[in-house]
Structure formats: structure tokens, C-alpha cells
Copies of this chain bind each other. A is one copy, B any other.
Amino acid sequence: MAEQLKGACIIGQSGGPTSVINASAYGVIKTALENPNITKVYGAAHGIRGVLDDVLYDMGQEDPAELELLLHTPSSALGSCRYKLKDSEVDDTDYKRILEIFKKYDVRYFFYNGGNDSMDTCNKISKYMQKAGYECRIMGVPKTIDNDLWGTDHCPGFASAAKFIATSCMEIYHDARVYDTGMICIIECMGRHAGWLTAAASIATHFGQGPDLVYLPERDFDMDKFLADVKRVYDANKKCIIAVSEGIHDKDGKFIVEYGAADAAVDSFGHKQLGGLAATLANIIKGKFDAKVRAIELSLMQRCAAHCASETDVQESFRSGKAAVECAVSGITDKMVGFARSKDENGNYVCEIKLMDLSDVANTEKKVPDEMINADGNGITDAFIDYALPLIQGVPQMKYENGMPRFAHLKKVVAK
């Protein structure tokens, strides 16, 4: 048993939001508020920026009933950021400031809720605090719709996005074949380097009501082969539904979206801001087929459609936040909470908590493995379906008021 450590905790959220990142945060906040070793629970406004700017919310002043609504409230309730910490060997200004704030509020627990880049931030802070000899237990709480965090079976947030994508694709399937005229429909899903989300479109196909063709960034995209694929499907029944990942690229690494669009902008992490791929492909297809061609971008909805979340994802996200606090209080630090998959005696899916070193997780990407992609590179295999189906179970147990979702309203009282 590690020595008891008393002090305040900070929870921060970072990176692109998901439908369930607040469920993870609620897992941290509720568990921390109930733990006698944690003297105060602060929420950092806009992730690490809130620490640097000394804008911390006193979560103890929130109404518990509102906090509970975080389970089904999309986006990052505390605010997010895409701020990248410099290497502390190069410039330790930010780190000194973070240490100053930690000391000011007697912060002994730090929970950071995000994806790869956030785990990098979390890892850097952890290593700096160790070097500085400041005792603080630091835990990463994962989230990413992209499902690309290394070492965990799956990531909180993925399943809800997957469920929205699969459900929307199934609904679009019905809509897109309503007329007796030709129709080609291209559905664009998020995913720069990993095709997990686009693969989720195939869940609808598994039920006989989904895309005919699915292209992931794990395979080089060949325009001629694509057009031949579309022709083969379209010639057979005058309908073709295609799901594409925003990050598909040709064998030279050129993004397909760039075939038709101006060079994409670049965000503060150096990632290209992609988008408009479906429209680009639609323009290429138009004229080649006697069909109406429709481009659909699932856009922000795939990461914020809490009304279509997976309740399994909601509950697992909560558990990941809860586990982070319990582990930290028990003496663990410098880890990210992850999931391991196992089965119960009846062969049913069971999700267990596992821990990974932050330094292993930071900036490592997990792509869709070969065995989940078909030989033609235009669809997925049953291995993916077997993997994904247990994750999307359960209708979200949301609160509705007057026909609309009732999301959490936080007071956000700034700590003095």
C-alpha cells in the first residue's frame, strides 16, 4: 500500500470532444469528490490552458444532479484545447507555471482526459513533476472517437461515434434507394490515419443495409480501382453507397481530398485540416455515371450525437474516469487507464480496466489491423464486426425535457 497522499486534484479535458468524454470526466469528478484524500476537485478551463491561465472551476460547488447529467452531455463540458507543450529541455516556461499552479492549489492529483496528443501532454507533465521532485500522481483518461490509442482494446468515445455512423448509414441506405432512379451516395467519416470510424459504417452492411464499398486510410487509394468498384456495384443495381475516411490517400501519400480541393489548412499540431472529400469524390464521379450523386459529410455530428451514443460506451467511459481516481489514490501514477477485453463464463463480452505507461501511449497510433480489412481493400471482414458489435450495445439512458435532451448546465465557479 502506497503512502496516503492528501491534496487537491485537477481534471482537464483536451483535444476533439466526443459524445462521452464528459462521462469519463464525471467518473473522475464524482469519485474524487467522494474520496477523503482528495481535498478539492478542480476542473481546468480548456484543458492545460486553464492551468496555465489559472482558471480552475471548483467542482464541489456544482449541483450533483447537474454533474450526473454529464454522463449523457456531449462535448467537453470544461472546455478543451489543442495546446501542445514544448519539450521541457528546450523551453520549460509552461512547466514552471504548471508547477507554480499545482503548488498554489496544493494539487497532488492530475487527471487528463484526451487522445494521443493529450497523453503526450500528460506524459510530459508527469515526467517533469518527477524530475522536479514534486509529488503528484498523474493519470491519463483516454478518449478519442478515432480509436487509435495504442495498448487499449478500444477507446472511450469510439463506440458512440461508431454507433451514430452505423445507424446513420443504415438510415441513409433506406433513403438512398427510395427512387427507381440511379443513385450514388458518398458518406465521409472522420479519421485521418486510422479507419476505425469508417469501418463502423460496415456494421450497417453487416445487417444488410449499409455501404457497398468502404475505404480506409490503412490502404492506398487508387482512383481507377475505385471507379471500377463503383461501376461494378452500380451496374448491378443502379445504387451504390460508399463510405470513405477523410484521410484516404494515394500510394504517393497525397490525400484524395487534395485531388479536387485547394491545399488543406494545417492545425497547431501540424495535422492537415481535411474535409470536403465526399464532395471531391462526388465531383469526380458525376458525369461518369447516369446517376444522381450525393455527398454526405457526417461532420461534427459523429462526435457529438449523444442522443445516439452507445450506453456501453457511456458506462465504460465513466468507469475509466472512476478507475483513474481509484488507482491514483492507491498510489499509482504515470499511467493511462485502458481497456482489456475478456469473456464471462457464458462467452459474453466483458471489459476490464488495464493500465499502460503514459510514455508508451503518447503519440502512438493504433490502426485497423490487416485481418479486419478485406483483400480488395474496399470493405471490412467479420473480424471487425466481432470486435465492434459488443461496443455499440445499449440505447443511451438520457434525460429529456420538453422533447429535447436535457444536458448538464454547470455553474463553473472559478476558484480563488
Contacts and interface: CB of A to CB of B under 8 A. Distances in A.
A364 interface: no
Contacts of A393: 402-403
B204 A404 contact: yes
B405 A389 contact: no
B166 A404 contact: yes
A73 interface: yes
Interface in A163-191: 163, 166-168, 170-172, 174-180, 185
A180 B304 contact: no
Nearest to A164: B307
Interface residues of A, number: 58
A370 to B, nearest CB: 25
Counting chain B CB atoms within 10 Å of each CB, which of A17, A166, A299, A403 scores highest? A403
A190 to B, nearest CB: 12
A245 to B, nearest CB: 18
A304 B79 CA distance: 32
Contact of A80 (B81, B167, B179, B407): B179
A171 B46 contact: no
Given A166-B404, A167-B404, A393-B402, A299 B296 contact: yes
A115 interface: no
14 contacts: A74-B174, A76-B178, A79-B178, A80-B179, A167-B404, A168-B301, A170-B405, A170-B407, A175-B304, A209-B407, A276-B279, A296-B297, A389-B402, A392-B403
For the complex of A and B, list the 9 residue pairs with the smallest distance between their C-beta atoms, beginning with the closest.
A75-B174, A175-B304, A392-B403, A171-B304, A393-B403, A46-B180, A80-B178, A75-B175, A296-B299
